[in-house]
Amino acid sequence: MSRIKEFNLPDLGEGLTEGEILAWLVKVGDDIELNQPIVEVETAKAAVEIPAKWAGRVQAIFHPEGATVEVGSPIIAIDTDPNAGPIEQSTTGAPAADLPTPSAASLAAVEVAPEEGMVEPGLIGGVAPGGRTAVLVGYGPRNAPAKRRPRKGGVPAQAAAAPAAPVQAAPAPAPVVPAPAVNGNGRPAGGPVLAKPPVRKLAKDLGVDLAGLTGSGPLGSITREDVQRAAAAPAAAEPLTVAAPVTAAASFGADREQRIPVKGVRKLTAENMSRSAFTAPHVTEFLTVDMTRAMKALDRLRERREWRDVRVSPLLLVAKAVLLAVKRHPMVNSTWAGDEIVVKDYVNLGIAAATERGLIVPNIKDAGRLSLRGLADAMTDLVQTAKAGKTSPADMSGGTLTITNVGVFGVDTGTPILPPGESAILAFGAVRELPWVHKGKVKPRLVTTLGLSFDHRIIDGELGSKFLRDVGDFLADPEAALLAWT
């Protein structure tokens, strides 16, 4: 059995078809242990560290960082018995045409270059640095010296190798050339401006017109001194003319465009949103709520000793309101399954989180069983893990109902699109101080706007309105709602 094992990119969940290699955690020649993380791969909205299936020594890495690899493709080769001596190489003299195409495992038997597609310096078939011979298995080293192409128009090799016999020839009489007419600038009349390329560049940099200079060089050529002298001379007075402003024509070419590959998070988001938007008939309702009492309740909660180290935000109360409203209206927490509707007794509460890789929606498993303190801790861990890019595919699968907090961006509300497989999503807007009629008087109050999108195949207008109203009632007076509902 071969000691070289090829490790294929595994399916990390949710029907993954490809992944992008973010970073290699090992390099060729490293000794690795079983289950040691060897590569970080970006999958469906998550960066996952993949462990090694075998212990051994890294022989080859097949894809560089940044490459997108299909599931099932080999990404690394590992020598599972590096202490057994050198790997046997084929010594057969069969012609190359009769040999099979070398596999990744056979390629791993030779010293590979640090980067894909690069070869270590050295002669063809000769010794490379370190005393190695860079050849493929089954292809012997080529010791023939490299041939050099003859120069175009050059002398044939045989003729160049033979010493040329001296030839004595009578000097030909020099032709008589009439002296050219010279203009006032010392150059032949009607001739071109004579100046070397460095002189022309100097004149261009200094803004000197060569055509108006008298050259002091051979045949009237212009020298650097001529250009520098002209640049230092005071310019002749000229009438001042003000040029009309010229507006450059707008260009709309590719030089003003940026093309961003659609992959990873963006690709998955696009697929999910398109499938949801054109599959589930969306309806969105809005409700404006006075959250002044809820915000005061949060202040009192933060002052309690057991809550001083806990992250307490208005989103926590929104999550609690949703969980309580689901208990009163279970149909909101369901899935359309074609010929049936699946109503779930558990709530995997999704919290949309903006990360550097894009928007992801991890969820808190069975959030309804948690106390308010447990819910606060779970939400803090969820957001911190997401922002660090360490959310696993399992944490993003199985969601049943989602909250998106658009208020953190200063937005009042929105019309969110349902995550696939869910029947409702709530948008929580910014909490603002606004004039509000309270007890018959206009007073400044802390107000927010909620937006509920739902699947109209499952949730009709009455059910959606009652659910949204209950969420609003809890946020308007959480203490009274808890007393009335629990």
Q: Which residues are catalytic?
A: 456
Residue type, 290: D
Q: Pick the closest to residue 416 from 404, 429, 398 (CA basis).
A: 404
N- to C-terminal Cα separation, the chain: 65
Q: DSSP assignment of 420-468, as one string?
A: TT-SEEEEE---EEEEEEETTEEEEEEEEEEEEEEETTT--HHHHHHHH
Do residues 401 and 422 touch, judged by C-beta distance below 8 A? yes
Residue 32: strand, helix, or coil: strand
Residue type, 249: A
Strands 349-351 and 401-404: parallel
Q: Pick the closest to residue 351 from 425, 264, 458 (CA basis).
A: 425
| Axis crossing angle, helix 478-485 with helix 461-476, rounded to the nearest 10 | 120
Q: What are phi and psi of 344, to 5 degrees?
A: -105, 135
Q: DSSP assignment of 37-77, as one string?
A: EEEEEE-SS-EEEEEPSS-EEEEEE-S-TT-EEETTSEEEE
Q: Pick the closest to residue 78 from 118, 117, 38, 134 (CA basis).
A: 38
Residue 136: strand, helix, or coil: coil
Strands 74-79 and 401-404: unpaired
Q: DSSP assignment of 250-317, as one string?
A: P--SGGG-------HHHHHHHHHHHHHHTTS-EEEEEEEEE-HHHHHHHHHHHHSGGGTTS---HHHH
Do residues 96 and 138 touch, judged by C-beta distance below 8 A? yes
Do residues 33 and 47 touch, judged by C-beta distance below 8 A? no
CA dist., res. 356 & res. 451, Å (int): 25
3-state SS of 162-192 is CCCCCCCCCCCCCCCCCCCCECCCCCECCCC
